[in-house]
A and B are shown apart, each in its own frame.
Chain A
C-alpha cells in the first residue's frame, strides 16, 4: 500500500475533507466572519493537540524521521504564536470553549500514541496534506483571509508535506495485516474529522 493508494481508495472522504463551502467562501469572501473566527479559535485549540501528538510521535519514530517530525513540532509552535497574532488583530478571543468536534479530534490525536508508528505517521501526513489542498483550492483568497491562504500554500509547506508522504510510503511498504489496517483507519478518521471541522465552522 502507498499513501496515494489511500487517497484513491477513500476518494470521496478525501474530497469531502478538502473541498468545502467554507473554503469556497474563503476564496470568494462569502464566508461569514463569525464562521471564520469560530474556525480560528477552534483551530488554535486543535493545534495545541497537534503539537503534543507530533512530539509524542517524534519521540517513538525511527531515527530517520525524527528530524522531519521535530521540524513539524517547531512549525506548529510557530503557528500557535501566529494564530495568537491573527486572533488579536481580528479581535477573536482564544479562550473559547472547546467544541465537541474539536474535542473528539483532539482525543483522536492523543490516542494515536496508542497506535503503532505506521498509523501515527499516516495520521500526521493525513492532517497536513488536506491543509495544503484545501487552502490551494481557496487561492488567492478574499482580502480578509488572504494571509491564511498564503500561509498554507507556500513551497516550504508543500515540501514538508511531500517529505511526510515519503515517510508514510516507507512505512506502508513494510506494513501488512493489523498495522496496515490501523494506518488505513487512522487515515479514514482524519478525513472524517477534517470534514467535520469545516462543517463546525460553518454551522457552529
Chain B
C-alpha cells in the first residue's frame, strides 16, 4: 500500500505539473526570468521561510516523542540554512530582505502559522510537506533542463541536491508516522500546494506591474 505522503503527493500531481510548467519555473530553467522578478521572489521567500522556521519550531514543541523532536530540529536547521542562503542571494541580486509580505505570501504564512499554532503535529507536517516535496521535485526536473548559462543554476542545484531530497523525505516520514484526520490532512496538503502556485503567480504578476 502506498504511504500517506505518497498518496497525497500523487493526488496533487496536477498541481505539481502546473508548478513545473509555470512561467516562473520555466524562466528559471531557461535563464530568461527577469532578474528583478527573481529578486522579488527571493525577498518574499525570505518572509515565507521565516514563518516556515517558526512552524517547524512549533511542531518540534508539540512532538509527542523524542524522535519527532530530533527530526524537527534537523528540519529546522535545514530551513535556517536556506534562510542564510537567501542572505547570500540578497547580496548577489540586490534583494530587499525586509520587504513586507505581499498578499500571496501573507496567505501562505498565515495558513502555516494557524495550523502550527492550533493543530496537532501530523497536520502541521501535512501543511509543510508540499513545499519541501514540490521544491525537491522541481529541482530534480529542472536539473537536466537548466541551461548551463542560466544565472539561476545555484537555485536549481540547491533543490536538486541529495541533502534537500533527504530533508523532504524526512518530513514525509513524520507525516506518515503522525498522520491524523485523513480528510483534514488532504485539505491541508492540497491547500499548501495551491498556495505554492499562488506564490509563483505573485512573483510573475509583480514583474508585469
Q: Give A residues with C-beta under 8 Å from B.
A: 100, 103-104, 107-111, 113-114, 185, 189, 192
Contacts and interface: CB of A to CB of B under 8 A. Distances in A.
Interface of B: 54, 100, 103, 106-107, 109-111, 113-114, 117-118, 191, 198
A104 B113 contact: no
A104 B103 contact: yes
Nearest to A185: B100
A110 B114 contact: yes
A107 B191 CA distance: 11
Given A111-B117, A113-B114, A103 B106 contact: no
A18 B118 CA distance: 31
25 contacts: A103-B111, A104-B106, A104-B107, A104-B110, A104-B111, A107-B107, A107-B113, A107-B114, A108-B107, A108-B110, A109-B114, A110-B114, A111-B109, A111-B110, A111-B113, A111-B114, A111-B117, A113-B117, A113-B118, A114-B54, A114-B113, A114-B114, A114-B117, A185-B100, A192-B103
Most buried by A among B103, B106, B110, B118: B110
Given A110-B118, A113-B114, A113-B117, A189 B191 contact: no
Contacts of A100: 107, 198
B191 A103 contact: yes
Contacts, number: 39
Contacts of B114: 107, 109-111, 113-114
A151 B79 CA distance: 48
Contacts of B103: 104, 192
A203 to B, nearest CB: 16
B151 to A, nearest CB: 32
B191 A108 contact: no
Most buried by A among B109, B114, B118: B114
Most buried by A among B54, B107, B109, B198: B107
Contacts of A103: 107, 111, 191
A104 B102 CA distance: 12
A110 B114 CA distance: 5
B198 to A, nearest CB: 8
A103 to B, nearest CB: 7
A113 B118 CA distance: 9
A189 B191 CA distance: 20
A107 B114 CA distance: 6
B205 to A, nearest CB: 15
Contacts of A104: 103, 106-107, 110-111
Most buried by A among B54, B100, B113: B113
Closest 3 A/B residue pairs (Cβ): A110-B114, A104-B107, A111-B113
A108 B106 CA distance: 8
B138 to A, nearest CB: 23
Contacts of A192: 103
A16 B92 CA distance: 38
Contacts of B54: 114
Contacts of B111: 103-104, 107, 111
B90 to A, nearest CB: 21
A111 B100 CA distance: 17
Nearest to B116: A114
Contacts of A111: 109-111, 113-114, 117
A184 B113 CA distance: 19
A189 B117 contact: no
A49 B107 CA distance: 15
A53 to B, nearest CB: 10
Contacts of A113: 114, 117-118
A110 B106 contact: no
